[in-house]
Amino acid sequence: MQQIASDAPFPGDLPAVAAYGLQVVRGSHTVLRHLGFTIPRGCVVGLLGPSGCGKTTLLRSVVGVQQPTAGHVQVLGYAAGAPQLRTRVGYVTQAPSVYADLTVLENLRYFAAALGMRGWRREDAVVRVVKEVDLASYADKLVARLSGGQYSRVSLAVALLNKPDLLVMDEPTVGLDPMVRRELWQVFQRLVREGTTLLVSSHVMDEADRCDRLLLMRDGRLLADAGRATLLEHTGCADVEEAFLHLVRAASEAEARARQGAAAQPPSLALPTLLDQAPAPEAERAFFAVDSLS
């Protein structure tokens, strides 16, 4: 496979994210198992799966803070973590990344300065993100006194300071009530309409309805990579949670057969993803398929 140097960007019409043979091993534990997928620009992709399946490690690999054991990830035309991406990728971690003892404005000004913004440029960015995430009423409040939903909005505002082309969010709605979750998703969908690509992880399957495309994970593997309608059609299920469980059962059965030596490969739907994307080498294409788990 031809490698692309970190200082040689992809053409602009290629995906926002492309992962090829991505593997992460920690000690004796394989966290990510040879993942391959692409994410087109200008859409929202949901990374769904149970806690502990490797979602956070995958997101960390995309933003470049997790070094792969094997394989590689390209983001907006550069190797994940390249200096050129510092102002183009926003990352909202699952744990709060803002200072509780500062006000909303103090946090935003601090992080804007850390991004190299000064003077009017910094103030313009702060005013813009406060408006974008609807924090004007709380701008002078200490973050420690905010509700969970408001706290999440501050973290999101920080990630939006540089108008990122790609926004990566690790369970941004976890623990929030349904109304706040709906409001945050309205913000996310507006960002997509404005051209931002979103990669959002969640273990809440009903959030799949809000995504253009789904990556379903289990035990460090991708069980599916497709749009919601395609996922339901080809599993014969009524909702995403049922479809996920269907794929888990199929994968478990394939694993059992492999252990018994009855079959070398699991059954596969072998269906390409719905969204058009640049072709990858055959071995690296992301298919909607049950994985071997071997």
Q: Any residues with CB less than 8 A from the CB of 29 and at least 6 apart, and which?
A: none
- Letter string b/e over residues 131-151, b meaning 16 or more CB atoms within 10 A of that residue's CB: ebbebeebeeeebeebeebbb
Could you tell me the sign of the dihedral formed by the alpha carbons of 203, 208, 212, 218, in that order? positive
Q: Any residues with CB less than 8 A from the CB of 40 and at least 6 apart, and which?
A: 15, 16, 197, 275, 276, 277
pLDDT in tens, 108-136: 999 999 999 999 999 999 999 999 999 99
Contact 46, 225 (CB under 8 A): no
Check pLDDT > 50 for residue 90: yes
Tokens of 223: 């069980």
Q: For domain 17-88+164-288, which architecture applies?
A: 3-Layer(aba) Sandwich (3.40)
Report the share of the chain in percent with pLDDT over 90. Answer: 59
pLDDT in tens, 140-160: 999 999 998 899 999 999 999
- What was the pLDDT predicted at 12? 53
pLDDT in tens, 15-54: 999 999 999 999 999 999 999 999 999 999 999 988 899 9
- What was the pLDDT predicted at 265? 52
Check pLDDT > 50 for residue 280: no
Long-range contacts (CB closer than 8 Å, 24 or more residues apart) made by 222-228 = 222/35, 222/36, 222/37, 222/286, 222/291, 223/247, 223/248, 223/251, 223/290, 223/291, 224/288, 224/289, 225/37, 225/273, 225/286, 225/287, 225/288, 226/271, 226/273, 226/274, 226/288, 227/273, 227/274, 227/275
Indicate the burial class of 253 (C-beta count within 10 angstroms; 0-12, 13-18, 19 or more). Answer: middle
Q: Are strands 17-26 and 70-75 parallel, antiparallel or unpaired?
A: antiparallel
Residue ranges of the domains in the chain? 17-88+164-288
Contact 47, 200 (CB under 8 A): yes
pTM for this entry: 0.81
